[in-house]
């Protein structure tokens, strides 16, 4: 499983809701999860940090 999908699964959010949460187009989430486009590592780290700050700690 790719990193973005793992992060999204941590939140138990749909792709649409996760995109809204991050304020980005849902197509970005879809492309990242389908490996059409690979997000840069810094972006994955940033999303992870935002999620931790919001209380999603991966448990």
Domains, the chain = 3-53 (1.10.260)
pLDDT score at 4: 94
What's the pTM?
Answer: 0.84
pLDDT in tens, 40-51: 999 999 999 999
Which burial class, exposed, middle or buried, applies to 7 when counting CB atoms under 10 A from its CB (0-12, 13-18, 19+)? Answer: buried
**If you average pLDDT over residues 3-30, what whole number do you get?**
94
Indicate the average pLDDT of the chain: 91
pLDDT for 58:
56
Confidence of residue 56 (pLDDT cuts 50, 70, 90): confident
């Amino acid at each position: 499983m790719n990193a973005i999908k793992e992060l999204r699964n941590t939140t138990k959010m749909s792709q649409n809701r996760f995109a809204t949460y991050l304020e980005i187009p849902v197509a970005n989430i879809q492309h990242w999860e389908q490996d059409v486009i690979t997000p840069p590592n810094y972006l994955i780290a940033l999303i992870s940090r935002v999620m931790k700050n919001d209380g999603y700690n991966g448990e």
